[in-house]
Amino acid sequence: MGASETHEATTTYREAMREALREALRSDDRVFLMGEDVGRYGGCFGVSLGLLEEFGPERVRDAPLSESAFVGAGIGAALAGLRPIVEIMTVNFSLLALDQILNNAATLLHMSGGQLPVPLVIRMTTGAGRQLGAQHSHSLEGWYAHIPGLRVLTPATLEDARHVLAPAIEDPDPVLIFEHGSLYNVSGELPSPTAPVGLDHAAVRRPGTDISLITYGGSLPKALAAADDLAAEDISAEVIDLRTLRPLDDATISASVARTHRAVVVDEAWRTGSIAAEVSARIAEEYFYELDAPVERVCSAEVPMPYARRLEEAALPQVADIVAAAHRAVD
């Protein structure tokens, strides 16, 4: 095989994240993983399975059931020169550490006049669709994207799951990585080696000319499926994966809207005060005269996420909802 050639290996999103963690732990002695059940249990979602046996309890640390305590410990370790990766079981539980994330991790660099960087990575599972009830199923990443001083990542593909962790660890600012629970079992071919993954740019996952479907995280597969359905009706949909919610990549959004002149923003969070609201506002403020139709939004119903499967499915954005919104914009 030539130096420029690549080969592909079948993997899952979960395994890609695990390999990223393994690579980080191997390559830098300052890196350690900490969180609830990350060690002996292998992670609540199985991402860290086997890492305790490979790296030992100093590098893979099981934490008590106190998000505020172990996120605070991660902040302290980062201030002391280490590179901690803190896992919070679900985004809902991250609210118990909101004081640490907002009032410490996000602000210390600014408040210290640049003297106290906090190179901390916080990983957490987000999203619904798995019948886990309201306390384990919400999409709150938009709340964190509201906070200056944080970088907010939402890897939706195998390549991003495998490769966003390394640059996140190197970032001098705190980085939050939101992993949608519905993606862990997604499998496919992961090219090896692959190009580095940047943290600043959205990605055009499917080119199109008639309408832009703008989304992120667990809604990306739905947007791609909707684009397939629309293609069968001779409607060419471009699919934009935001990838990073803070900072938003305005350039990629604007270029897409300039091509298609219509936009549907798909966001599993609630509609009010959401990332979909922010993206829609930016399009209206900056690219209004490129639009041939109002921006459409497809979001979750504004209720606590139901447990019953049919009710949960009814509350979430579905492919048919995205197709219907695209029809409204095109027609």
| pTM of the entire predicted model | 0.95
Q: Does domain 8-192 have CATH number 3.40.50.970?
A: yes
45-49, 153-157, 189-193, 232-236: segment of lowest average pLDDT: 189-193
- Give the pLDDT confidence score for residue 1 in this predicted structure: 43
Residue 4 binned pLDDT confidence (cut-offs 50, 70, 90): very low
Q: What phi, psi does 317 have (nearest 5°)?
A: -60, 135
- Give the pLDDT confidence score for residue 199 in this predicted structure: 84
Q: What is the mean pLDDT of residues 176-197?
A: 87
- pLDDT, tens only, 271-289: 999 999 999 999 999 999 9
- pLDDT, tens only, 254-272: 999 999 999 999 999 999 9
201 has catalytic annotation: no
Distance CA 248, CA 296 (A): 19
- Give the pLDDT confidence score for residue 9 in this predicted structure: 80
Question: Domain 203-330 belongs to what topology?
Answer: Rossmann fold (3.40.50)
Q: Which of 322, 308, 309 is nearest to 263 (CA)?
A: 322
Amino acid at 120: L
DSSP 8-state code for residue 139 = -
- Give the pLDDT confidence score for residue 194 in this predicted structure: 63
Q: Choosing from 36, 87, 136, 179, which is the catalytic residue?
A: 136
Cα–Cα distances (Å) from 42 to 46, 51, 222, 290, in that order, read 5, 7, 29, 49
**How long is the chain?**
331
Do 203-330 and 8-192 fall under one CATH topology? Answer: yes
Distance CA 117, CA 212 (A): 37
- pLDDT, tens only, 233-254: 999 999 999 999 999 999 999 9
136 has catalytic annotation: yes
Q: Are 269 and 139 in contact (CB under 8 A)?
A: yes
Distance CA 28, CA 202 (A): 28
- Give the pLDDT confidence score for residue 197 in this predicted structure: 78
Query: How open is the CA angle 161-310-217, to the nearest 5 degrees?
Result: 15
Q: Choosing from 15, 36, 67, 238, which is the catalytic residue?
A: 67
Residue ranges per structural domain of the chain: 8-192, 203-330
- Checking if the pLDDT of 28 tops 90, the result is yes
Instruction: Return the H-helix or E-strand segment holding 69.
Output: helix 67-79
| Residues near 27 by beta carbon (within 8 Å), at least 6 away in sequence | none
Q: Are 174 and 120 in contact (CB under 8 A)?
A: yes
What whole-number percentage of the chain has pLDDT above 70? 97
Amino acid at 245: L
